[in-house]
A = this chain, B = another copy of it.
Amino acid sequence: MSVTTPQGFAAAGIAANIKEGDALDLAMVVADQPAVGAAVFTVNRAAAAPVLLSRRHLAASEAFKAVVLNSGCANAATGPAGDAAALATASAAAAHLGCHAIEILVASTGTIGTPLPIDKVLAGLGVATARLGAGLASGRSAAEAIMTTDTVSKETVARGDGFTVGGMAKGAGMVRPDMATMLAVLTTDAVVEASEFQAALEGAVDESFHALNIDGCPSTNDAVFALASGASGVRPEQAELADVLAAAARDLATQLAADAEGALRVITIDVSGAPDAATARRAGRHIADSGLVRASFYGGDANWGRVIGALGAAPVDFDQRQVGVAYEGVTVAAEGVAVPFDEMALLATLATGDFRVSVSIGNGPGSAEVLTTDLTPEYVRFNGERS
């Protein structure tokens, strides 16, 4: 039930003292043999040093031995010293694992603007590889070592016909006191070709992590990595590979939403009737980005006027006379205007927790789902506190 469930992988998480105390904060996911790699990175233009380095390695290498991830420090906004620290991390891991630095992918999450304590990382890599060598591998410990404000670790497994996908993730609440970071590593023992694998990962991310709107802002450090060992000997069809990767990614994304900081509810916004799926997703994300809409979710309020207001501000064309809104299947607006409904019954339904908001914006075939959470006073307090 982790990144080590697929054949051909080991993982370890240890306490390198990057965080205070003895919390786990350094993870390695290692392929027994050089693996096919794929990744999706943040679009944030202030991307962190590990993102910049991993992007370069992914473009330049055809095989990957490990992903090294640390929590406790984002190594973002750290300038040339940060770049050197990321490279030193990759080089040290490569030396321990007997490969080239270019075959190592790196990721960090934690405070922005503080230097990565590279001496602690290098010492920790020695400890972690020793544990791996001693057969003390543990996917769970790796999943725990990437946690920041997460209250539980997130792991998953999805099975295809003769092959398996495993995964771990952290986020998508906030790194206290800095920007939200979402990190994930997926592993598979399927036999894959690099460009197909990348395409399948991009599709999986699109309908999972990219459908998740918690803070409405990509972090400096967001990254999703995938490694394929080929150890199952099974080469799935592209469509099946994509489906199983997406199932694993969706499960992780749902776990992230459920553990988002200060959130009391996970809300699914589904948009239908759009010209195409991309338009539907754009509309859904815009609704999910609205603090006003998310505050109404907190109140358990079927405040469809805010939903339509947010929809109208989205970069999407629609005819407001064709808009309908339903909460948990109860239609509250149709053809752009209010319709009668049993308000007390619906409020009682919404009071129970998570719910679904369905927005139809026309007669087109395009639909999409977006996950978000409610905006709570606790979230603001949490993120307003000084570190």
Contacts and interface: CB of A to CB of B under 8 A. Distances in A.
A76 B309 CA distance: 9
A383 B295 CA distance: 6
A114 interface: yes
A47 to B, nearest CB: 7
A305 B337 contact: no
B217 A309 contact: yes
Nearest to A385: B299
A47 B309 CA distance: 8
Interface residues of A, number: 73
Interface in A310-328: 310-314, 316-318, 320-321, 323
Contacts of A317: 45
Contact of A308 (B220, B374, B384): B220
Q: A-side binding surface: helix, strand, loop or mixed? A: loop
B292 A179 contact: yes
A137 interface: no
B308 A180 contact: no
Interface of A: 43-47, 74, 76-79, 81-82, 111-114, 174, 177-180, 215-220, 289-292, 295-296, 298-301, 303-306, 308-314, 316-318, 320-321, 323, 333, 335-338, 347, 374-381, 383-387
7 contacts: A44-B309, A82-B337, A178-B305, A179-B292, A299-B384, A377-B378, A377-B384
